[in-house]
Chain A
């Protein structure tokens, strides 16, 4: 069947047809939909794991037991899963194991733009890299066989423009191989030094065999055109090259960036006059070319920063760009922001008001950093708020403890905040950790997690009791507040900052975008009573703006959270019907 699919749906279809029996993942843009689409099938097990390391270890277990398994994660998720990855390279697999990792060049929704290909090289595992949805489907489907043939986990590298671009895919039928029997084999699966020493040579031999395979595998292909220019390219860059050059140049399209095909590249280089390497992010293919004695033009012409496009390539080659009309007026930036009625806003307002130093974390609530709230001081990686505040307070001393908090979402706390909290209790700082519990994984588009009480299919599941968990970790002071209640937030924050022991404040209210959350009637401003003090504007709510000198509330956006009403000293904000 022919269907227009985003790359991530195509990956899921390929894995499905390839006989996947289990997928375990942690959501992360731009990888999330791979697992969401797999969860729509009932003849396989799908789940959200608390983090990527757990997910990969679950997939390992399934592979060991003889069932084809996969996981999906964003590029930084692979940092979390790196520990099992590197040793999985030594153990190899029983049934096929595929790790889908999605890079985010240009950082549309990420904190860095690391290049996952380095992981394939460092862990010595093969990596496939599709350049559109049809290839995403085909490569994903082929990945299980590759994994089993070479006894290795396989990395499937996506990037935003492949993961979230739709193109046409011709799908086929699912073919599930019989589960492979599990046979106890300590020499292969128990990676203690004596065994691991014997496995390392196996890994090196496998890399050589894979390099040989790469020379004429179906993933790499040569498209000979004009011989004046030869371009080695991969992933989405291939599409931009073809867009600009069509068949006027020769192209070596790399679909398997690790290991790279030495002889194929040398032969290609010999047939063209001038050699270019066009690859987004780091010079991985280019460096390989240099190591085998070639001197291509690469990063001297193309930046290692951000995404490319046909425009990038035209500019680099000095081609004429299309004529452009520009508006004279500068369009004001439109940065993302917390939604109207976002439960995080009340807590951030309280933190900003109290001039608290805030170690932040990864999620929608990173948006507490943008003006006018500007309430966040740092954002590093998943869990770093909770671990970081401990170090910050130790270094900055007692006075810092009274004006510093960590903020972390419920899903991020499950992912890697818990261990930091154990450290706070165990190594004793009077740190205050605020769990922004909106009962969902928000930023990635509403995935369930262990605190929500539902699994990936939306069926009821065990629900982590955050209060009991914090108590069990050794935190005695655990408070729960409603972030829509500003007076309560302020009181509890002051008390916990003053406490001479560590504490956790759970700021609990579900995300307003959840279907289960019914919006309340919108509020209105009584222009007679409004004194134009702009206090309500300090919330940074997209529903409130000043018009003709008075605050007004956009009734299409307002969900009636009443936080602004609590701020107004003149009683100007209220439910429409209550006004005189």
Chain B
């Protein structure tokens, strides 16, 4: 079987490490060979962050390079554009429409590009955009953006809904399980 390549991209502090932890745990439980690669340290301070998740029968490289990603799950709109070159020809970008201005935009040295998603769509890129922040707030916390987006990804993966809920129970702290399951359900049905 072909290895599936997923990238989770976003801004340091948005919770991508928890998302990859959930995904890694679930895929391992499903019996796949799994590799997940994260970056810690400096880039977590509000910088652009990327996590790679690869699964299949046998996975070697822990990272995904240009033209290889079957899915890019972008926690922020601009980051989708930054990493678009990693998308495989028939890949799909799942993107949270939230905008977080990077420092060069804040200081006025650069502008936040408009119409990024339309531009990519015009180039034939499959884009699934959603307002994950609103859904997360609806579930009870803006921090649940990561789970909402994992739910959207779940729609494209061949893993039963219940297994995701079970994996959430094993990944997040007990007091947040209910909130995250609610966020997952909202994201899945959105």
Contacts and interface: CB of A to CB of B under 8 A. Distances in A.
B123 A325 contact: yes
A30 B40 contact: yes
Contacts of B123: 325
Contact of B46 (A445, A542, A556): A542
Interface string B98-133: 000111111111111101100110011100000000
B110 A327 contact: no
Contacts of A108: 39-43
B91 to A, nearest CB: 9
B171 to A, nearest CB: 11
B62 A327 contact: no
Interface stretch (B28-36, B148-156, B181-189): B28-36
A249 B79 CA distance: 37
B103 A335 contact: yes
A243 B116 contact: no
A3 B29 CA distance: 9
Nearest to A109: B41
A331 B76 CA distance: 12
Interface in A528-574: 534, 537, 540, 542, 544-546, 556
A164 B21 CA distance: 12
Nearest to B83: A331
A321 B65 CA distance: 10
Contacts of A537: 106-108
Interface stretch (A264-272, A298-306, A365-373): A365-373
B134 to A, nearest CB: 13
A370 B59 CA distance: 38
Nearest to A333: B104
B119 A328 contact: yes
B113 A329 contact: yes
Given A239-B60, A334-B48, A109 B43 contact: yes
Interface of B: 11-13, 24-25, 28, 33-48, 59-63, 65-68, 78-79, 81-82, 84-85, 87-89, 101-113, 115-116, 119-120, 123-125, 142
Interface of A: 2-4, 6, 29-30, 32, 108-109, 132, 160-161, 164-168, 236, 239-240, 242-243, 309-311, 321-339, 364, 367, 370-372, 443-445, 534, 537, 540, 542, 544-546, 556
18 contacts: A30-B40, A109-B40, A109-B42, A132-B62, A166-B62, A242-B61, A243-B61, A309-B65, A323-B89, A324-B66, A325-B123, A327-B119, A329-B113, A336-B45, A339-B45, A364-B45, A537-B106, A540-B106
